[in-house]
């Protein structure tokens, strides 16, 4: 007892009860708090009073400490029953856990109590209520240490147990378990006789209990293993009394069978009921889950928000930069009109979307170029909806197609609204007409460009009217696509970093415009930075270009098919602009492509003009008139013939005496000018003179030497015969009777004929 | 922005400034030039403030702040023999802030306004130089747009100017002399204008003595 330390502040002794301190001081004095651990020591063999407040904490356990023997009749030395973790019960008071401080001491002070006949002491161990303070903050708030969990606590306690030192049954420990069994009374006696020494650490009895439990378990294990072997020990079943014979075995058997069957049937029925309930629940759940999973899928593609108890979505382009005033809201509704009994249809979807009524159906913008309508009064509502309903993509749910179609309708409406606004506001030389769903403008005289919004709802009557016979479609799909792209570009402009500065601290305005001042940009430079062409202007320019290109192609092709000699070749370039295309036109003679390649024209087809660049460097600008290009090409073809003669002369060795692209002699051509060339044979005897005009065709004359002409007037001037070697009069060649498939071939034959070997 | 030559055309005998300008413009129109709107070049003078000058001179340095409608977003600031700064249009507001250092001599504001003609690659601007309410002279600016090297096209410019200015065609401007083969820039045009305005300012002070 001398080793007992007493906490000065905490010791209170009340009669037989001693309160035990479980503050963190190292004493065993009591504390005045309510949740104390009370160790009741009673003498005279009374059962220990139930320990203090039974803490419903998960790391509490109740034990009986101290040796108790016979008078108590409490059996073996220590009986411990670990209380199962009281997870289900809420603690009566939220007792915090702290490091439980000890207390398994049956306090006996001095010689007052004797160990002999000491009753079993029941010990309840509870943890103290207060958490340990980990730190105190600067503003006075305290941070508590989290109390240890049950396993942590147990581990901590177990670590303190020193299994190498026991009390009482220690000497027997190294022996076999059987011996401990053989002498059950001994340890008790020994414990009873030994004067209770307050152990240095409080877990002595716990350790002893554990050791004996271990011993017993080992014994049991050994016994069972021996019994299993059946060599040295055997289990003998207890003989049961035989049952009395039944009186009416069949009757009873029947009844018992019926009963047992009924019982089995009950069980089966219960199980079946449960199964069917679960299946129904499953289906219901599946439907529920389906709606949610469909909603999730919907959410991946479209923006949704919850307003009250409705789910609304947004299918407009506002978040992409559009400024169109349409709400574009659709509602998501649950599809509950499904009958569970009937078979669920294949395309059943638990989710349905309701789109605004003016966006129903499908729409497209039709851009077409026609000859000008004779009377403006003929314009009516264009109901040229011919595009069939697009088949939905397989695999995409029906709400996706519905929403996409609605979004397309909205975009087409926006495009048309923008175009009509510009058509009305922007001044142009020939004003644009806006009639109902059509915008009509005149890009070229005699030509009419109509842009119309074709919107068909899904009603039956619109289907009927669409089946009328329509005019041959001039629908320029390219322009429709371009319109869509242009409006998207407009959208992007509103979100661009010039309008909305990125990052937010960046200045407004175009970067280049800020440099305009210090770099002294003039008006041309500034206007090139700012492009303020509207959608309508752009699309009209594109339409003009497409039309001009088509007409140019048609002109060249018609010429090529009409005229065989010389031949026209057109090489169109693959890479074009929306406003510019180019084609290279070659005029050649068949069979003489390498020799006669002087006429090569590069045509740059712009929006309103065609610019022709000749091989010799001349640049000519033609207007959009078809006739101009045709005349030009015809004049070039006629020039080609004469150029070909020139090249041929070089090859054949003939000398070019004169050459002119535009002769001033002879009949005046209505298209262009005639060209002429005179070539002389290598030995000078003959000369060929060619005059070729676009309209008048070719005229070939050959000059013979005087000696070959019989009908020359003989005069007195020329006396010498040497003058007869000079070339004399001309004779025309009947060109259409010449052999040869084209002009140059004929010319070559002629030259060959006139060149003596 | 091509090579530009700024010169002064003396007022014809017995005629007013306006009439001389009209003569010139009619000649240009006969030549085939097309009218393309108006132009304006103005110049304001700033003195360095008396408190900041050292012992150099009485009035310190003169700074000219000029604007040209050909470069609408720019402002030019130049010293007489010093560098020329091309700045943003906000420079004027900056000058207001620098009131303590540069004081505006409001009476010296001079400008030229007139019509702008384009003749193929040439830009001709004929303007009336006014200081306050009075017209002081005639300025003619001829620009040859394709060329940016001064010495390469001086003779062409001379020939063109002689075609409509006759004997009043000027000689080689001083800025061209220093240029050699470097690229012509708008600041050179403004230097020429500055010199022209100074000349006109000095000119008119002689007959109207005692008045500023």
Top pLDDT among A532 and A727 is at A727
Q: Using CA coordinates, name the residue in chain A closest to B89.
A: A517
CB atoms within 10 A of CB A551: 18
The residues, any chain, with a CB within 8 Å of residue A300's CB and separated by 6 or more, are none
CB contact under 8 A, B74 and A526: no
What whole-number distance in Å separates Cα of residue A676 and Cα of residue A663? 7
Tell the burial category of A252 from Cβ atoms under 10 Å away from its Cβ (0-12, 13-18, 19+): exposed
Three-state secondary structure call for residue B63: strand
Report A:480-539 residues touching B (Cβ under 8 A).
513-514, 516-523, 526
Q: Are the beta carbons of A322 and A414 closer than 8 angstroms?
A: yes
As given in the structure block, the two tokens for residue B211 are: 């008045």
Measured at the CA of A667, the angle between CA A664 and CA A669, to 5 degrees, comes to: 85
Backbone angles phi, psi at A670, to 5 degrees: -85, -25
The residues, any chain, with a CB within 8 Å of residue A530's CB and separated by 6 or more, are A510, A513
As given in the structure block, the two tokens for residue A681 are: 């044979």
Instruction: Please give the average per-residue pLDDT across A80-100, as a whole number.
Output: 44
In which band, very low, low, confident or very high, does the pLDDT at A240 lie, cut at 50, 70 and 90? confident
As given in the structure block, the two tokens for residue A453 are: 């919004």
What whole-number distance in Å separates Cα of residue B195 and Cα of residue B24? 22
Q: Are the beta carbons of B75 and B133 closer than 8 angstroms?
A: no
Structure confidence at residue B52 (pLDDT): 59
**HSE of A569, CA atoms in CB hemisphere, 13 A:** 11
Structure confidence at residue A141 (pLDDT): 86
First to last CA, chain B: 35
SS3 content of chain A, % helix, strand, coil (to 5): 35, 20, 50
Instruction: Please give the average per-residue pLDDT across A397-405, as a whole number.
Output: 86
The residues, any chain, with a CB within 8 Å of residue A706's CB and separated by 6 or more, are A712, A723, A724, A725, A726, A727, A728
Point out the least confidently predicted range of A195-209, A413-427, B120-134: A195-209
Structure confidence at residue A108 (pLDDT): 40
As given in the structure block, the two tokens for residue A338 are: 């499904």
Residue numbers in B near A523 (CB within 8 A): 70, 72
What whole-number distance in Å separates Cα of residue A28 and Cα of residue A103? 8
Has residue A115 got a pLDDT over 80? no
Has residue B125 got a pLDDT over 90? yes
Structure confidence at residue A657 (pLDDT): 95
Mean pLDDT of chain A: 76
Mutate to test the interface with B, among A515, A517, A519, A524 (most CBs of B within 10 A): A517
In which band, very low, low, confident or very high, does the pLDDT at A24 lie, cut at 50, 70 and 90? low
In which band, very low, low, confident or very high, does the pLDDT at A74 lie, cut at 50, 70 and 90? very low
Structure confidence at residue A107 (pLDDT): 41
Please state the ipTM of this predicted complex. 0.75
Point out the least confidently predicted range of A266-270, A285-289, A307-311: A285-289
As given in the structure block, the two tokens for residue B25 are: 């413009």
Q: Using CA coordinates, name the residue in chain B closest to A518.
A: B87
| Residue in B72, B88, B89 closest to A523 by CB | B72
CB contact under 8 A, A522 and B86: no
In which band, very low, low, confident or very high, does the pLDDT at A287 lie, cut at 50, 70 and 90? low
Q: Are the beta carbons of A412 and A330 closer than 8 angstroms?
A: no
What whole-number distance in Å separates Cα of residue A275 and Cα of residue A277? 5
Sign, CA dihedral A723-A727-A729-A731, equals positive
User: Of A571, A542, A534, A422, which is closest to residue A479 (Cα–Cα)?
Assistant: A542
Provide the phi-psi class of A166: left if phi over 0, else alpha when psi is between -120 and 50, else beta.
Answer: beta
Highest mean pLDDT among A122-126, A395-399, A413-417, A488-492: A413-417
Q: What is the distance of C-alpha A299 from the center of its chain?
A: 12
Structure-token match 């150029």, residue found: A643
Sign, CA dihedral B68-B71-B77-B80, equals negative
CB contact under 8 A, B75 and A517: yes
Rg (CA), chain A: 58
Distance from the A507 Cα atom to the nearest Cα atom in chain B, whole angstroms:
15
Residue numbers in B near A521 (CB within 8 A): 71, 73-74
Give the global pTM: 0.55
In which band, very low, low, confident or very high, does the pLDDT at A340 lie, cut at 50, 70 and 90? low
Q: How is residue A316 annotated by DSSP? A: S
What whole-number distance in Å separates Cα of residue A120 and Cα of residue A78? 9
Tens digit of pLDDT for each residue in A159-213?
888 777 765 555 444 444 444 444 444 444 545 455 555 556 788 889 999 999 9
In which band, very low, low, confident or very high, does the pLDDT at A90 lie, cut at 50, 70 and 90? very low
In which band, very low, low, confident or very high, does the pLDDT at B210 lie, cut at 50, 70 and 90? very low
What whole-number distance in Å separates Cα of residue A71 and Cα of residue A579? 117
Tens digit of pLDDT for each residue in B153-176?
889 999 999 988 888 888 888 888
What whole-number distance in Å separates Cα of residue A673 and Cα of residue A658? 17
Point out the least confidently predicted range of A124-138, A163-177, A216-230, A526-540: A163-177
Backbone angles phi, psi at A43, to 5 degrees: -105, 165
Has residue A78 got a pLDDT over 60? no
| Residue in B70, B86, B90 closest to A522 by CB | B70
Whether the link from the prior residue into A634 is cis, omega within 30° of 0, is no
Sign, CA dihedral A628-A630-A633-A639, equals negative
Structure confidence at residue A131 (pLDDT): 78
> In this structure, what is the dihedral angle of CA atoms A130, A134, A136, A141, given to the nearest 10 degrees?
-60
Backbone angles phi, psi at B89, to 5 degrees: -70, -15
Q: Are the beta carbons of A234 and A227 closer than 8 angstroms?
A: yes
Tell the burial category of A322 from Cβ atoms under 10 Å away from its Cβ (0-12, 13-18, 19+): buried
What whole-number distance in Å separates Cα of residue A235 and Cα of residue A226? 10
CB contact under 8 A, A518 and B88: yes
User: Of A91, A123, A96, A93, which is closest to residue A107 (Cα–Cα)?
Assistant: A123
Residue A627's alpha-carbon distances to A205, B10, B20, in angstroms, are: 123, 54, 49
| Residue in A514, A518, A523 closest to B86 by CB | A518
Structure-token match 């009844």, residue found: A255
DSSP of A549-574, one letter per residue?
Answer: HHHHHHHHHHHHHH--SSEEEEEE-S
Residue A511's alpha-carbon distances to A75, A448, A491, A514, in angstroms, are: 98, 40, 20, 5
Tens digit of pLDDT for each residue in B23-49?
999 999 999 999 999 999 999 999 887
What whole-number distance in Å separates Cα of residue A115 and Cα of residue A104? 16
Structure confidence at residue A7 (pLDDT): 47
Structure confidence at residue B179 (pLDDT): 75
What whole-number distance in Å separates Cα of residue A673 and Cα of residue A339? 88
What whole-number distance in Å separates Cα of residue B63 and Cα of residue B80? 7
Tell the burial category of A248 from Cβ atoms under 10 Å away from its Cβ (0-12, 13-18, 19+): exposed
Q: Are the beta carbons of A336 and A293 closer than 8 angstroms?
A: no
Instruction: Please give the average per-residue pLDDT across A122-138, as a whole number.
Output: 79
Q: Are the beta carbons of B65 and B92 closer than 8 angstroms?
A: yes
Three-state secondary structure call for residue A512: helix
Structure confidence at residue A693 (pLDDT): 92
Helices (H), A72-203: 150-160, 177-182, 185-193
**For chains A and B, what is the number of CB pairs under 8 angstroms?**
36
Three-state secondary structure call for residue A703: strand
Structure confidence at residue A125 (pLDDT): 77
Structure confidence at residue A93 (pLDDT): 43
Q: Are the beta carbons of A344 and A362 closer than 8 angstroms?
A: no
Structure confidence at residue A101 (pLDDT): 45
In which band, very low, low, confident or very high, does the pLDDT at A638 lie, cut at 50, 70 and 90? very high
């Amino acid at each position: 007892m001398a080793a007992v330390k007493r906490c000065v502040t905490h010791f209170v002794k009340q009669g037989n009860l001693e309160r035990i301190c479980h503050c963190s001081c190292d004493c065993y004095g009591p504390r005045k708090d309510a949740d104390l651990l009370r160790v009741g020591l009673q003498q005279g063999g009374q059962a220990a009073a139930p320990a203090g407040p039974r803490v419903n904490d998960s790391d509490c356990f109740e034990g009986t400490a101290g040796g108790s023997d016979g008078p108590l009749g409490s059996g073996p030395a220590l009986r411990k029953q670990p209380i199962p973790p009281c997870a289900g019960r809420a603690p009566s008071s939220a007792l915090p856990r702290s490091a439980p401080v000890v207390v398994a001491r049956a306090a006996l002070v001095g010689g007052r109590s004797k160990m002999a006949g000491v009753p079993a002491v029941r010990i309840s161990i509870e943890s103290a209520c207060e958490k340990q303070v980990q730190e105190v903050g600067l503003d006075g708030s305290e941070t508590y240490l989290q109390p240890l969990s049950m396993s942590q606590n147990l581990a901590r306690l177990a670590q303190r147990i020193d299994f190498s030192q026991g009390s009482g049954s220690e000497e027997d420990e190294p022996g076999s378990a059987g011996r401990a069994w053989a002498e059950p009374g001994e340890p008790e006696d020994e414990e009873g006789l030994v004067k209770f020494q307050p152990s240095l650490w409080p877990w002595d009895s716990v350790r002893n209990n554990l050791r004996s439990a271990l011993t017993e378990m080992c014994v049991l294990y050994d016994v069972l293993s021996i019994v299993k072997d059946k060599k040295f020990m055997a289990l003998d079943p207890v003989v049961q009394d035989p049952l009395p014979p039944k009186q009416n075995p069949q009757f009873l058997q029947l009844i018992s069978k019926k009963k047992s069957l009924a019982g089995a049937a009950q069980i089966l029925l219960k199980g079946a009921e449960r199964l069917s309930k679960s299946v129904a629940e499953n289906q219901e759940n599946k439907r529920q889950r389906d709606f949610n999973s469909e909603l999730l899928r919907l959410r991946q593609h479209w923006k949704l928000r919850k307003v009250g108890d409705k789910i609304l979505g947004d299918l407009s382009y506002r978040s992409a930069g559009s400024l169109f005033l349409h709400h574009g809201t659709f509602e998501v509704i649950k599809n509950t009109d499904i009958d569970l009994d009937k078979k669920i249809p294949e395309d059943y979807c638990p989710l349905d979307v309701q789109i605004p009524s003016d966006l129903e159906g499908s729409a497209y913008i039709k851009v077409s170029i026609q000859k000008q309508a004779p009377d403006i009064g003929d314009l009516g509502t264009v109901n040229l909806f011919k595009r069939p309903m697009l088949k939905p993509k397989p695999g995409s749910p029906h709400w996706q197609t519905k929403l996409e179609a609605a979004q397309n309708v909205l975009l087409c409406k926006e495009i048309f609204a923008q175009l009509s606004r510009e058509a009305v506001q922007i001044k142009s030389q020939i004003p644009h007409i806006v009639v109902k769903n059509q915008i009509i403008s005149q890009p070229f005289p005699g030509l009419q460009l109509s842009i119309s919004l074709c919107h068909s709802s899904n009603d039956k009557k619109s289907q009927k009217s669409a089946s009328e016979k329509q005019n041959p479609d001039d629908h320029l799909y390219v322009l429709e696509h371009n319109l869509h792209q242009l409006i998207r570009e407009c959208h992007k402009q509103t979100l661009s970093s010039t309008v909305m500065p990125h990052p937010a601290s960046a200045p407004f305005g175009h970067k280049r415009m800020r440099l305009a001042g210090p770099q002294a940009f003039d008006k041309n430079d500034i206007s090139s930075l700012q492009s303020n062409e509207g959608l309508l202007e752009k699309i009209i320019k594109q339409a003009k270009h497409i039309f001009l290109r088509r007409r140019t192609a048609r002109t060249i092709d018609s010429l090529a098919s009409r005229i065989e000699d010389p031949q026209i070749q057109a090489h169109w370039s693959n890479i074009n602009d929306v406003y510019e295309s180019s084609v290279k036109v070659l005029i050649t003679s068949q069979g003489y492509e390498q020799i006669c390649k002087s006429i090569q024209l590069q045509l740059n087809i712009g929006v309103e003009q065609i610019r022709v660049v000749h091989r010799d460097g001349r640049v000519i600008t033609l207007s959009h008139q078809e006739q101009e290009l045709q005349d030009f090409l015809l004049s070039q073809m006629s020039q080609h013939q004469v150029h070909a003669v020139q090249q041929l002369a070089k090859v054949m060795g003939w000398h070019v005496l004169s050459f002119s692209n535009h002769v001033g002699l002879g009949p005046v051509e209505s298209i262009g000018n005639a060209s002429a060339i005179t070539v002389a044979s290598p030995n000078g005897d003959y000369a060929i003179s060619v005059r070729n005009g676009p309209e008048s065709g070719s005229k070939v004359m050959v000059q013979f030497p005087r000696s070959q002409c019989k009908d020359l007037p003989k005069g007195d001037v020329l006396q010498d015969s040497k003058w007869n070697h000079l070339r004399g009069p001309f004779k025309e060649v009947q060109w259409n009777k010449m052999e040869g498939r084209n002009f140059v071939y004929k010319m070559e034959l002629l030259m060959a004929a006139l060149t003596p070997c | 922005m091509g090579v530009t030559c700024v010169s002064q055309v003396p007022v014809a005998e017995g005629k007013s400034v306006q009439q001389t300008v009209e003569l010139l413009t009619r000649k240009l129109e006969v030549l085939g030039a097309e009218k393309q709107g108006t132009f304006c070049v103005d110049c304001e003078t700033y003195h360095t403030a008396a408190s900041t000058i050292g012992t150099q001179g009485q009035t310190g340095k003169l700074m000219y702040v000029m604007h040209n409608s050909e470069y609408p977003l720019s402002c030019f600031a130049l010293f007489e023999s010093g560098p020329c700064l091309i700045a943003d249009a906000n420079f004027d507001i900056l000058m207001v802030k620098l009131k303590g250092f540069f004081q505006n001599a409001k009476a010296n504001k001079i400008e030229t306004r007139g019509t702008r003609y384009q003749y193929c690659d040439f830009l001709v601007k004929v303007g009336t130089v006014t200081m306050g309410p009075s017209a002081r002279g005639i300025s003619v600016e001829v620009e040859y747009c394709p060329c940016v090297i001064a010495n390469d096209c001086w003779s062409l410019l001379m020939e063109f100017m002689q075609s409509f200015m006759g004997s009043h065609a000027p000689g080689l401007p001083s800025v061209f002399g220093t240029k050699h083969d470097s690229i012509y820039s708008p600041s050179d045009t403004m230097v020429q204008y500055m010199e022209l305005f100074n000349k006109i300012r000095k000119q008119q002070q002689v007959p109207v003595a005692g008045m500023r």
